[in-house]
Amino acid sequence: MQTVLEKRTFLVLLATITLLFAFILRPFWSAIFWAVVVTVLFAPVQARVLARMGKRRNGAALLTLLIGFVIVIIPVLALLGAFIAEGVGFYARVESREIDPAQFIDQIVGAIPFLPELMVRIGIDTDSIREYLSSSAVAISEFIAQQALSIGRNTVSFTVKLALMLYLTFFLLRDGEKLVGMMKDAVPLSENRKQLLFNKFVEVTRATIKGNLLVAVVQGALGGLIFWLLDIPAPVLWSVVMAFLSLIPAVGAALVWVPVAIYLYATGAWMDASVLVAYGAVIIGLADNILRPILVGRDTKLPDYIVLFSTMGGLSLMGINGFVIGPLIAAVFLAFWNIFTNDISPDTDD
């Protein structure tokens, strides 16, 4: 009786101190999460570097971190700087009426002779549409500018979190195997099941991150490239917007380039509009269908409706990190339940 009471008391104290420790780390959850993400993505690189450098784990971890910094961090920082500049500039142009959505509506309506009469017949008030688009454009551009300025104002906080992320990533790369072993020892399951769960977690984590983030980055970059080539204003800004929208099924980058193509057609830029439509449908559209099976694999691909709900839920609860954390939690949730039904459920238990 004393032993049972002692165990229960210890478990309560363990849960309490764990929650308190998690609460202390709350301001740095983003840095910790992205450190884990970078570690999982670059673990194969760390293994190859370590194989060549022998037992020099510090040197291997440092070299892997440097590779990740050059490949990921520097391009992201450069993109972030351009996003801030273009976001603030876009808001200024909307505020000064240099960009006026109401004029876009007038140009589109004027370019299609039968459209005004058709809109009157079906009861669409063009004045209300103009007013709505103008107010929406101001609100959206103001939101983008606020986010951009917020990043700029919080440069010190961002720099500290980036430094902490890189610092933690180094130790996770260096001591990853030891930490995984400690976590495995703490899980009260058989060795085979622990290994199965761990392998599935790593597989789904890596596949989800690559499948969501890299495909979104590629689609955003392709969209920004064609906008830049066609001399459409703020290509970097729209590139980032298309990348975020590409994370959400049933929305995607088409929500940006299709209206732009319609506007180009309406203003007589037939060649540019046709190029944008062909490029968007073939290059941007097929990037997801071609890259995702390669990066993710067909077995780990989440259904679109689960990705949609988990992405939107993660975004509403956790902000920008939720774009990744939401689908990741959903993927791991399905993986664990799949393992349970196939291997650990009472009907199949040994």
Q: In total, how many domains does the chain have?
A: 2
Last residue of a domain, one of 186, 211, 227: 186
Q: What is the pLDDT of residue 167?
A: 92
For residue 290, what pLDDT is reported?
76
- Are 141 and 36 members of one domain? yes
Same-domain check for residues 210 and 325 = yes
Q: Collect contacts of 94-103 with beta carbons under 8 A, ≥24 apart.
A: 94/137, 94/138, 94/141, 95/138, 95/141, 99/137, 99/233, 100/134, 101/130, 101/133, 101/134, 101/136, 101/137, 102/130, 102/131, 102/133, 102/134
Q: Are residues 64 and 179 in the same domain?
A: yes
- Residue 129 shares a structural domain with residue 114: yes
Looking at residue 22, its pLDDT comes to 87
In three-state secondary structure terms, 7 is helix
Ramachandran area for residue 276 (φ above 0: left; ψ -120 to 50: alpha; else beta): alpha
Instruction: Kindly state whether residue 5 falls inside one of the protein's structural domains.
Output: no
82 and 108: one domain?
A: yes
- Give the pLDDT means over successive 10-residue stretches in the chain (350 positions): 76 88 87 85 83 80 88 80 72 67 63 60 63 65 65 71 90 83 74 74 72 81 89 83 76 81 80 89 79 63 75 79 78 77 58
Same domain membership, residue 143 and residue 52: yes
Range of the domain at 290: 191-342
Q: What is the pLDDT of residue 346?
A: 55
- Domain identity same for 246 and 166: no
Same domain, 209 and 235: yes
The token pair at 265 is: 């057609």
- For residue 120, what pLDDT is reported? 62
**In this structure, is the dihedral angle defined by the CA atoms of residues 307, 312, 313 and 318, taken in order, positive or negative?**
positive
Q: Specify if 250 maps to a domain.
A: yes
Please check whether residues 337 and 309 belong to one and the same domain.
Answer: yes
Residue 160 lies in a domain: yes
Of 156, 186, 216, the residue that ends a domain is 186
Q: Indicate if 82 and 36 belong to the same structural domain.
A: yes
What is d(CA 84, CA 86) in angstroms, rounded to the nearest whole number?
A: 6
Confirm whether 117 is domain-assigned: yes
Q: Do 198 and 309 fall into the same domain?
A: yes
pLDDT number for residue 52: 79
- 197 in the same domain as 174: no
